[in-house]
Amino acid sequence: MKLAVIGCGYVGLVSGSCLAEAGHDVVATDNDASRIAALQAGKIPIYEPNLDKVLDTVVREGRLRFTSDCAQAVRGADVVFICVGTPPSETGEADLSAIDNVARLIAKESRSPKLIIEKSTVPAQTGEQLKRALHVYANNAGASFRVASNPEFLREGTAVEDFFHPDRIVIGVEDKETEQQLRELYRPILEGHFRCPVHQPNCPPAATPDFVVTTIASAELIKHASNSFLGLKISYANVLADLCERLGGNVDEVTRAVGLDPRIGGQFLKAGLGFGGFCLPKDIQAFIKLADRAGVDFGLLKETERVNKQRVDQLLEKVKKALWVMKNKQIGVLGIAFKPNTDDIRLAPAIEVIRRLLAEGAVVRATDPEAMERARAVFPGLCYSADPYEVARGADALLLLTEWEQFRRLDWKRIRSEMARALIIDARNMLRPAEMKALGFEYLSFGRPDPAGAAASNTSN
């Protein structure tokens, strides 16, 4: 099929590349001309493992191309994916102005029937607004529009794998024709006809993903409901960590055993600095606002948000309690990205932690395998180093804020020798308390008591 993808961010770039790999003819466009120029020159503006492999192949094979001319991209397509950003406005509600702008452009430029798909995360009933905008601004005979919702469930760092091997594909449609067209569009993914760069040369037998067909409003709600439930689980684990710190439990052991119940599941129960990124926090905020507007008080999510914001306060309390005076103390920061395997620092808890450390007068040195360039734009005066050992040198404390695998494998004996004071505050519960104590560190984390005080745990975690 001839597809247009509007918006070349995390969602648009991954979706456009993978749909081209699945055999479609894709034109991707963005209103940021420099981003399009970079992409046309083969430079990918985000760090997303495996995206380069897919994108290089489909561009070379002529199945994906980039243009700044959004009108031309729309005119040439049968199906248009809207993948533009829906950032939080000051009130916390999703800012849908980019969606509205694109809808008017599509309406104005189209001269033939088109299926318009909202892939950006949008509040329920946006589909209605989209249909109305397309209808009101349409100005060419022959143009007609069907609208569908097709929310994405891509995680940064594994987005390409998530696209090729989704748990489920959700479509919100209003008629059989649209359902059939989307089944056809996703057939290569459903049947495994694609070269997956993650499992080259061949994928494990792909479990056929569920293909969920529902209404547009339900599909829009499914996205918000999924993401906010993930946040709810994380905040639940973080309150358990608070309890463990006071009652002497070990939150890793508690959540591991709780997660063994298949009705609960072990993922997204990791306690620590909480959730960041450009999805979970803003989707929860938007969902709370949507519920408020609908006259429903989503207290569960307001509490989820409150607990999550509190994590940074709690980390700073641990640091202050250990250091007493923060002014002029050398503090090393390992990890800035909101999670490992991404360069994305948007709403990353580490950013707030660094801001607070600087406000207290501490001298901060930071490292991150991928996110330092983006961090420089936020903290230009900060001292950065690609070498964690340099960040540890002379430090009075070392804060582990993002659980990059590289940090687990550090030579912690050497780290200890570099530090002025062997104090580690592991905000992601990545390291093992007993091992760090044995190496002579003062070791703090979330919800895990000193091994000396705790019964030797027989669970391997």
How far apart are CB 184 and ligand UDX at their closest, in Å?
Answer: 24
Structure tokens at 4: 């247009």
For residue 334, the cross-strand partners are 367, 400
- Please state the closest distance from residue 259 (CB atom) to ligand UDX, in A: 10
CB of 231 to ligand UDX, least distance (A): 8
Choice between 229 and 389, CB closer to ligand UDX: 229
Q: In terms of CB distance, is 36 or 340 closer to ligand UDX? A: 340
Do 72 and 66 touch, CB atoms closer than 8 A? no
- Which sequence positions are flagged as catalytic? 279
- With residue 135 as reference, give the H or E element that holds it: helix 126-137
**Residue with smaller CB distance to ligand UDX, 109 or 156:** 156
**Contact by Cβ (8 Å): 6, 82:** yes
Nearest to 389 by CA among 444, 445, 319, 332: 332
- Sheet bearing 114-118, strands edge to edge: 64-67, 25-29, 2-6, 79-82, 114-118, 145-149, 168-172, 210-214
CA 223, 225, 227, 228 dihedral sign is positive
Strand partners, 384: 366
Residue 80 in 3-state DSSP? strand
- Provide, rounded to whole angstroms, the least separation between the CB of residue 234 and ligand UDX: 4
281 vs 332, which CB is nearer to ligand UDX? 281
Smallest distance from ligand UDX to CB 429, Å: 9
* Closest listed residue to residue 102, CA positions, set 90, 89, 122: 122
The least distance separating ligand UDX from the CB of residue 262, rounded to whole angstroms, comes to: 17
CB 96 within 8 A of CB 126: yes
Q: What are phi and psi of 81, to 5 degrees?
A: -95, 125
Residues 6+ apart with CB under 8 A from 44: 13, 38, 51, 52, 55
Q: How far apart are CA 67 and CA 4, in angstroms?
A: 10
Binding site for ligand UDX (CB under 6 A): 152-156, 227, 230, 234, 268-270, 272, 274-277, 279-280, 338-339
CA–CA separation, 180 vs 384, rounded Å? 52
Give the nearer residue to ligand UDX in terms of CB position, either 155 or 302. 155
Shortest Å distance, C-beta 271 to ligand UDX: 7
Measure CA of the first residue to CA of the last residue in the chain; give whole Å: 47
Indicate the residue among 48 and 396 with the shorter CB distance to ligand UDX. Answer: 48
C-beta of 73 vs 232, nearer to ligand UDX:
232
